[in-house]
Amino acid sequence: MASKAAAKRLGKEYVNMQKEPPPFVWAAPDEKNILIWNFIIVSALRCRVSELLTPGVAQRGPPDSHFDGGEYHGVIMFPPEYPFKPPGIKMLTPSGRFQPDKKICFSMSDYHPGSWNPAWSVATILTGLLSFMLSDEMTTGSVSSKESDRRAFAAKSHEWNIGQKKFRDAFPEYSAPTMKNLPNMGERERGKPDEPEPPTTSSEPPPLPAGLTPAPAKTSVGTKTLDRPMDKTGWAVGLRQILVERWRWGALIAVALVVSRLSSN
């Protein structure tokens, strides 16, 4: 059972995975146990000549690997003490690089608790695993195989995945007969991000959201604020009101002075 710290941290990481997924990987926690995460790693799919002639077609994953076109399913098994202890990691899809369903030893796994950094996240772990997969380093859980074997595994990987109930349950949206792109296929990493739109130099105010109307302009006359633009007629009305008020005050003062003199006499 996950500790409060682990549950809170993994919940936050799932939100971050949704917002900013790292390139070529995707992961989600098990519905019944947040300590078990299923992941997908994809590698490059070389474009056909016809596709290369089509603008906007991107490769699937990091190019020039033995795993081109591969889709690899695995699991991350977090301890209840996460993030203070590292997880165990398995790859389930045959790849010719790792033994299926066997824990993999690398610097971010539970084989190396001394090198674990609590700041590392699910995204960090999977990015590290992809980098380790593309290397030639041998360790516990890895296997040695020919390039031709790895390419054959890659070509059959999606078909193998959708034949597995674990994969279909974890990723129903990726279980169609045709392999589907992950949310981040490295478009930004292979090119420049979209340029932000330059700020407008127009003096006109930006449009308001639907249903909202601009507030009326306010103009001051003397000490009084009017909720409409003042024209010539408005100025005349305002001036007339001021003069009337002053005349009334003058008349009252004059009457008061007369009454005061009569009383003194």
Which are the catalytic amino acids?
Answer: 105
Task: Give the position of tokens 């031709």.
Answer: 148
Whether 40 and 174 have beta carbons less than 8 Å apart is answered as yes
Q: How many CB atoms lie within 10 A of CB 78?
A: 25
Residue of 73, 42, 55 lying closest to 186 (CA atoms)? 42
Residue 230 burial class via C-beta count within 10 angstroms: exposed 0-12, middle 13-18, buried 19 and up: middle
Q: Which residues contact 73 (CB under 8 A, 6 or more apart)?
A: 38, 39, 40, 91, 92, 93, 161, 164, 166, 167, 170, 171
CA 133-138-143 angle, to 5 degrees, is: 75
- Among 143, 158, 156, 164, which residue's Cα sits nearest to residue 99? 143
